[in-house]
Amino acid sequence: MQEQLQGVDFVHLQFIDIPGSIKGISIPVGRLERCLAEGEWFDGSSIEGEARLAESDLFLHPDMSTLVRVPWEQPGIARVFCDVRNASGEPFLADPRHVLRRATSEAAELGLTYRVGAEVEFYLFEDPTRQGARPGRLKPVDSRSYFELPVEQAGLVCHGVASAVETLGYQVSGTHHEVSPGQFEIDLGMDDAMRTADAIVAIKLAARSIAARRGLLATFMPKPLVDASGSGIHLNQIVLDPDGRNALGSSSGDHHLSANGRYFVAGQLAHARGMCAILAPLVNSYKRLHGADEAPSRVTWATTSRNALIRVPDTGNGDGAVVEVRAPDSACNPYLTFAVLLQAGLDGIRQRIPLPPSAEPPGQAGISDEVSDLLPAMLDEALEELGWDMVIRGALGQPVFERFAAAKEREWLAYRRHISDWEISSYLEI
């Protein structure tokens, strides 16, 4: 630790609140030893979705395995992810990292290890401020498309983010231009679920900071432009057995899925509507999910179709099946997202839920739209489905469920009361 802290003046203690915002406290490096012993106090009641007034005395306890210098900050700044605990030292049940740790511990009791890779999409706009930003006024940094070389400024941002995230110790497998002008993707290799969640947070912080220094605005809003693709986080999942082999794959199984692989996918499909509010947590999220552009709108799975909720691509690797889920967007809380996906899959294994037929493009064997469920069309519908799904509620735990639902109900009410520019232009002179 002494080597890591050499030349460090301040340590930023980072944590994530329930809606997924990145929070933190900076402490002088000399205070870190005391923080390790006692925790660093903060007022949890002041953070949306964290604590009620009766639980306001909370403490940040650093996870020292995540301590690292921040490459995009001024010299002398390090950061460490923290667990949130109450005054007695017990885990705070509404801490998203605790929720994920509990889920992976349950998997470990079954001899299973959950690993996740991520394809993180975002936009770069020339508009350097958020004030007055509307879809019609946002100007993408370029006019290029899928896999085309980005303009210099955008390339420097993407390469800078990828390099910074690798410096933090995470595996970046690549970065490229996405389908819409100004849209980019950074891909994370398969890793422990907690580390991948931490890496997604790091990407968001790095992208915003590095873009701002070049006069650009990086946004992870799911659907910032009406006539362009939304930004998702496609998650590639595997589950390892006690021998380190892929428990989801089988070279002799249908679609290279083992029996547990089929149950795992079936569990995620069975709970798709219930966990949709976690995967797609904003009012704006549902404009992505129901706007085509390879975003799912139905509870289906497939091997090739990129409009399916879950895709099991042919990896060409026998028993190396990967389960890709395509509903999560770039605004989701990755810790809660991974926790509910894992618990849904484990429920499929425990209950031996049968896998429905795959839905493939026209001309291939599959199921019709008429026999597949729709994903929720709006945030209020997704919240209602969350309330009904006891497996997903159990994955979150009652403290997180209550706080998440309350925060999102406030968001939905504010949206319902808002008068949009479209309403004014459409109805003002009728």
pTM for the complete prediction? 0.93
Going along the chain from its start, the domains and CATH numbers come out as 2-92 (3.10.20.70), 95-112+241-411 (3.30.590.10), 115-235 (3.30.590.10)
Strands (E), 126-258: 172-177, 183-192, 217-219, 233-240
d(CA 93, CA 50): 10
* Host H or E run for residue 100: helix 96-109
Give the dihedral of Cα atoms 396, 397, 403, 405; nearest 10 deg. Answer: 60
pLDDT at 361: 57
Q: What is the pLDDT along the chain (430 residues), one digit of tens a residue?
A: 566 677 888 999 999 999 988 899 999 988 998 999 999 998 887 676 665 655 678 999 999 999 988 888 777 889 999 999 998 889 999 999 999 999 999 999 999 999 999 999 999 998 767 656 666 678 888 887 777 777 778 889 999 999 999 999 999 999 999 889 999 999 999 999 999 999 999 999 999 999 998 889 999 999 999 889 999 999 999 999 999 999 998 877 667 899 999 999 999 999 999 999 999 999 999 999 986 677 899 999 998 887 899 999 876 665 678 999 999 998 999 999 999 999 999 999 999 999 999 887 544 444 545 556 899 999 999 999 999 999 999 999 999 999 999 999 999 999 999 998 889 989 988 8
List the one residue out of 133, 122, 232 whose CA is nearest residue 177. 122
In three-state secondary structure terms, 30 is: helix
Residue 371's pLDDT is what? 53
Give the whole-angstrom CA distance, residue 284 versus residue 282. Answer: 5
Measure Cα distances from 157 to 58, 175, 263 in Å: 36, 11, 41
